[in-house]
Structure 1
Amino acid sequence: MSVKQVICINWGTKYGPLYIDRLYGMVARNITPPFSFTCFCDDPTGIRPEVDCQPLPEIDYEIPKAKTGIWPKSRLWGPKLGTLTGPVLFLDLDVIVTGSLDPFFEHGAPDDVILTRNRVVAFEKLGQTSVFRFPAGGLLPLQTLFKTDPKGIADEYRYEQRFVTRNAPGGVKFFPDGWVAHFRRNCRRPFPLNYLLAPKLPKDTRIVIFAGHLNPQDAIDGRWSDAVPPRSPLAHLRAIGQRDRGGSLWRYLRHYIRPTPWVGDHWRP
């Protein structure tokens, strides 16, 4: 029986051990052994011992300072991925695992590059790299192309997921719709139900991603981002007239969520 290989990447101080330990716990509860969990990181201090911490893959180019896109992920596109070989399932540190991960390893062929379908941009074939599977070392052509002009490519494509979708060797495939849910788009309620009901967990969802500024703790607390204090529905509506609310009135009304207990039920070590 082949080992299911799950990987993540961490650099700097934005996430760290809390997110890594909780991601491991969620994976371990939702996968059929044998499996491995590898974190490529710049500092293994404080990370639970079950996690195989390996150094960030070396690169010979400078990561561009772009306004959009998570371009340090390009480290994973090199000829080697630590000690790993074969297909690996990459997960962003801020995802929530809510169902079995086994199908992510059974879908498609071992050498396929398989992304989550991103339907935020209408009429564009676009993948989401918060959850994607690829063969270790199989994305070298991506890295080779990227390092010819990191800043220019980052500016042209804006997001690394668009670069991967359009340039992955052999093209990309997608996991079935419904396996991965986008919290803001698939879980939160539309106005005015967002003031009455907590966000929902769609049926058959296996992973929930938190793209944007909203993270799992924000969802648990019931706030749009850590820059906004948790408020009751009435308090949020009373604050409409505040000068610092930011954005249009419609945006302000939509950007309210009630506390989401089921996120906390899953997001634990």
Structure 2
Amino acid sequence: MFKKAQDDNNIKQIICIKWGTKYGADYANKLYGMVSRNITPPFRFVCFTDDTTDVRPEIECQELPPLDVTMPTNTLGKWPKSRLWGEKLGDLTGIVLFLDLDVIIVDSLDPFFEYGKPDDVVLSYNPSNPLERLGQTSCFRFQVGTLVSLQEKFKADPQGVADKYRFEQRFVTRNVPGGVKIFPKSWVAHFRRKSRQPFPLNYFKKPKIPKGSRIIIFPGDLYPSHALEGKYNKNAANNAKDHLKRIIEPKNIKRPIRHLRHFILPVDWIEEYWKE
């Protein structure tokens, strides 16, 4: 633990990044609201963005960090977070905790600033490949300027890096100088893997808040707004009857069990936490 060192720095720094049109200002605004309710002040909340329209005034908006590369195409992973790996990060110095815009915070963030050593790069646990020690960058902590070597490797061959590692979090996990640390597994819960109920309970029981979790993350194309409505993604049915009818569609009839598993009931606790 390094609580004393963090106290000496006097302020906890939360950052996020918003580019393009995928996420509106409401996501940044709700994230700030959740952070403010789940952190011991003082803190800074900085959003690196190309569009400040309708962003609440408490959020410090700064320009996207410069990165003169052509982003990879035809890859599953998303790579604009590589902008955060430079020697400079706006006017920030020291330790920062990055959060994806679409996370839901359900408990205190303070332990994320106390875990490990000040110079550790700490990722959340990624359960997608249990046989692979893989981190998840929906929530990760680092010191500004310590990831420059990652950015240099990426800049040298963005498409080649994306083709080799597929996902940005795998590249980070494998290439951080000295290796990465992982936050306790229970702190950051993957919604689809830890919150939703297994088949057939998913038709009778609502997704849960996993025990010990502090943050719920939503990788892939299932957003909090979808889960709130009981939809597995933007095109999914929001009720069991219509969902079951779609099992005869060509894409589903080949994998019927997968389709049956991809149903959730409306998640009412999201409204309690995911708000400004």
Sort the TM-score into its range (normalised by shorter chain).
over 0.9
**CA drift at 1:68:** 1.3
- Per-residue deviation, residues 164-209 of structure 1 (Å, max 9, x unmatched): 0000122100001100100000000001000000001111210000
Match of 1:230 in 2: 238
Partner of 2:269: 262
Give, in angstroms, the shift of residue 153 of structure 1.
0.6
Task: Name the SS for the 2:209 alignment partner.
Answer: coil
Q: Segments of 4+ in structure 1 off by > 6 A?
A: none
1:104-253 equivalence runs, <5 A: 104-231=112-239, 233-243=240-250, 245=252, 248-253=255-260
Q: Report the CA distance shift for 1:122/1:222 in structure 2 as closer, same or farther (over 3 A).
A: same
In structure 2, do the counterparts of structure 1 residues 243 and 262 end up closer, same or farther at CA, with 3 Å as the change threshold? same
Q: Distance in 1 between matches of 2:220 and 2:271?
A: 19
Give the direction of change, closer, same or farther, for the CA distance of 1:214–1:145 in structure 2 (3 Å limit): same
2:36 matched residue in structure 1: 28
Following superposition, the deviation at residue 66 of structure 1 comes to: 3.8
Q: Distance in 2 between matches of 1:75 and 1:247?
A: 40
Q: Which residue of 1 aligns with 2:76?
A: 68
- TM-score normalised by L of structure 1: 0.96
Could you state the TM-score of these two structures normalised by the residue count of structure 2? 0.94
C-alpha distance in structure 2 between counterparts of 1:37 and 1:204, whole Å: 24
SS of the aligned residue for 2:153 comes to helix
Offset from partner CA, 1:11-42 (integer Å, 9 cap, x none):
00110201000000000000000000000001
Answer yes or no: is the 8 Å Cα contact 2:107–2:215 preserved in 1.
yes
Q: Is the 8 A contact 1:10 1:39 kept in 2?
A: yes
Q: Distance in 2 between matches of 1:41 and 1:130?
A: 17
Deviation at 1:244, TM superposition (A): 6.0
Secondary structure of the residue aligned to 1:39 is strand
Q: How far did 1:242 drift?
A: 3.8
In 2, are the aligned partners of 1:39 and 1:51 still within 8 Å (CA)? yes
Structure 2: how far apart are the matches of 1:248 and 1:97?
34
CA–CA separation in structure 2 for the residues paired with 1:259 and 1:248 = 24
Report how far residue 235 of structure 1 moved.
3.5
Deviates more, 1:182-191 or 1:247-256: 247-256
RMSD: 1.2
Unaligned runs of 5+ in 2: 1-6
Percent identity over paired residues: 57
* Paired position in structure 2 for 1:6: 14
Structure 2: how far apart are the matches of 1:192 and 1:244? 20
Could you say what secondary structure the match of 1:147 adopts? helix
The 3 A distance-change label for structure 1 pair 119 and 242 is closer
Unaligned 5+ runs, structure 1: none
Q: Does 1:16 align with 2:24?
A: yes
The 1:178/1:241 distance shift into structure 2, 3 A limit, reads same
CA-CA distance at 1:239 after TM superposition: 3.6
In structure 2, what is the Cα distance between the partners aligned to 1:69 and 1:247?
Answer: 26
1:247 deviation in Å? 5.3
Query: How far did residue 246 of structure 1 move?
Result: 6.7
Alpha-carbon distance in structure 2 between the residues aligned to 1:215 and 1:35: 27
Where 2:186 maps in the other structure, the secondary structure is: coil
1:66–1:151: 8 Å Cα contact kept in structure 2? Answer: no
